[in-house]
Amino acid sequence: MSIGHTLLGLLESGPRHGYDLKRAFDEKFGHDRPLHYGQVYSTMSRLLKNGLVVVDGIETGGGPERKRYAITDAGITDVQQWLATPEKPEPYLQSTLYTKVVLALLTRRDAADVLDTQRSEHLRSMRILTDRKRKGDLADQLICDHALFHLEADLRWLELTAARLDKLREAVTPR
């Protein structure tokens, strides 16, 4: 996820302080990974330097100065271009799990155990996500669906690989 673009998008509804941006980000997108304040301010500094935001005001008080940021026309254009650009699908062509299975075979360990252990962990994660989805709002439901679909695909791969372990052993072990 592009934190910069997300913060710019949040600014389109009106100027905000860094604290308000963090709170809005965490509420809408940071369920599992809330932003650190340092991330917000370093990102805003970069966006300011690149002309995508301006300081709309500075409030002084009992604590440190609070800058209020506003998006520029260039920032709006940047968000529009980012939203219109499709994300590159990320095929897992060389996954860690595949590496573990092959190494188990090469070292004469039980690769089926590796697959079984991973299957158990995937099923555990799916139970947690299903529970979260059941209790969550629409955003949580959509986020959980995305993760669940990926886990389901992984489970299909685990089953297929388990069915092909003998052939894989022949293909990867020296004769």
The pLDDT of residue 86 is: 79
The pLDDT of residue 9 is: 94
- Decide if 7 contacts 26 (C-beta within 8 A): no
Regions of the chain where pLDDT drops below 50: none
Q: Strands across the sheet with 66-71, in order?
A: 16-17, 66-71, 53-59
The pLDDT of residue 93 is: 58
The pLDDT of residue 7 is: 95
- Decide if 12 contacts 32 (C-beta within 8 A): no
Distance CA 120, CA 143 (A): 22
The pLDDT of residue 1 is: 62
Q: Going along 38-77, which residue ranges are E strands?
A: 53-59, 66-71
- For the chain, give the percent of residues with pLDDT over 70: 97
Q: Dihedral through CA 37, CA 42, CA 45, CA 46, nearest 10?
A: -140
The pLDDT of residue 175 is: 73
Distance CA 175, CA 165 (A): 16
